[in-house]
Amino acid sequence: MEFFEVLNKRRTTREFLDKPVDFEVIKKILQAGNKAPTWDHNRNWEYIILRTDEEKEYTFEYAKSVADKFDAEKYLNFPRPYPITLGQKMYGYAMPRQFTMLKQAPYVIIPLFKSKELNGASVSKLNPFATIWCVIENIFLAATAEGLSCSMRIPLEKEAEIVKKKLKVPPSFMIPVFIGVGYANPKEQKLEQYKPDIDKQIRFGRWK
């Protein structure tokens, strides 16, 4: 698949087909993740792979509780002083699927990066966090190139620590995201997305 075709095809999936995925393809996708730039030149990344329903149910108990509590009907129809935004529509669609979009996926990838805590005192202090997201983007694009799709859940509040404890992750590593990988359900609802105008985003020399 040509590179820009991959970019245009990549999207977040929240409904997967019940169709197996060859693990060799998952390894190929992770190898693509390892090609990302790294700030310390050591590529201190690890990956936990979940395969069974039992593993996913155990790991994502917190995500399930969040999804079960979310009232999409109430959220989407809440009176607002302005028309509902595309982002709010997407949020209302995505939140009830925060658990199922991981459980349905044949594989869940949990990337780990070496850092005990995030230090936002300056942008450069966030280098470990920035580079793991380069890894994650490579994973998304490689999955798309292989005809697969990904779901993405960023852990909320204490969730990452809960999952770390469950999976016995060393304290020197952090979890940025949970990624479901599988074949997208072609019948999944596709919500409208905001499309920025690149000509309005570019500024030459300075902001104004």
Instruction: Give Cβ neighbours of residue 196 (< 8 Å, ≥ 6 apart).
Output: none
Are 177 and 101 contacting, i.e. CB atoms less than 8 angstroms apart?
no
pLDDT tens for each residue of 102-158: 999 999 999 999 998 888 889 999 999 999 999 999 999 999 999 999 999 999 999
* pLDDT number for residue 1: 85
For the chain, the distance separating the N- and C-terminal CA atoms, rounded to the nearest angstrom, is: 39
| pTM (global) more than 0.85 | yes
Q: How far apart are CA 16 and CA 161, in angstroms?
A: 27
User: What pLDDT score does 57 carry?
Assistant: 98
Q: What is the pLDDT of residues 11-51, one digit of tens each?
A: 999 999 999 999 999 999 999 999 999 988 888 999 999 99
* 42-45 contacts, C-beta under 8 A, 24 or more apart: 44/113, 44/114, 44/128, 45/111, 45/112, 45/113, 45/114, 45/132, 45/135
